[in-house]
């Protein structure tokens, strides 16, 4: 459903239809698709088809990031013998960034300022 939504959003192989894309993203997000949650968050952030809602956008961005990090972390743990130290460090960095985001801190600022 998310891929179909992306096709409607971009007009790939069909007429561009952002309203239909929104509906497809919502359906897919309700089934727990992290990419659909991200796509939906962008629409709320930018006010596309829906009224701008930064609170809803942040909620969806966080949920998407947590799901993707969780999936990535599980893969790394299950296949740690196949993953080099650099990849493990990147996953740790990503986890720290997500934790800061949950606390409302700007991880990229280096001094973890409140956002």
Residue-wise pLDDT tens digits, 52-108? 998 898 888 878 877 765 666 665 666 566 666 776 676 666 665 665 555 555 555
pLDDT reading at 34 higher than 70: yes
Q: Is residue 109 part of a domain?
A: no
Q: Is residue 113 part of a domain?
A: no
Domain assignment present for 13: yes
Tokens of 41: 């968050």
User: What average pLDDT score do residues 33-57 get?
Assistant: 91
| 31 domain residue, yes or no | yes
pTM: 0.63
- Predicted confidence at residue 115, as pLDDT, reads 44
Residue 114 in domain: no
Residue-level pLDDT at 43: 95
- Whether residue 94 lies inside any domain: the answer is yes
Q: What is the CATH number of the domain that holds 99?
A: 1.25.40.10
Cα 41 vs. chain centroid, distance in angstroms? 8
What letter would DSSP give residue 115?
Answer: -
The verdict on residue 45 lying in a domain is yes
Place of tokens 């972390």: 73
| Whole-number Å distance between alpha carbons of 102 and 63 | 10
Q: Is there a domain that residue 68 lies in? A: yes
**What is the count of structural domains for the chain?**
1
Q: In this predicted model, which residue has the larger pLDDT, 102 or 38?
A: 38
pLDDT, residue 14, reads 94
Host domain of residue 64: 2-103
Q: Name the residue among 26, 30, 31, 25 with its Cα closest to residue 3.
A: 25
Residue 9: both structure tokens together: 């959003």
């Amino acid at each position: 459903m998310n891929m179909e939504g992306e096709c409607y959003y971009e007009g790939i192989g069909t007429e561009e239809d952002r309203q239909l894309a929104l509906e497809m993203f919502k359906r897919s997000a309700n089934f727990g698709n992290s990419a659909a949650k991200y796509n939906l968050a962008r629409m709320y952030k930018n006010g596309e088809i829906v009224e701008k809602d930064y609170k809803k956008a942040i909620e969806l961005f966080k949920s998407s990031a947590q799901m993707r990090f969780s999936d990535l972390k599980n893969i790394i743990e299950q296949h740690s013998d196949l993953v080099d130290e650099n990849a493990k460090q990147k996953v740790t960095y990503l986890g720290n960034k997500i934790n800061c985001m949950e606390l409302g801190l700007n991880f990229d600022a280096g001094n973890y300022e409140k956002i």
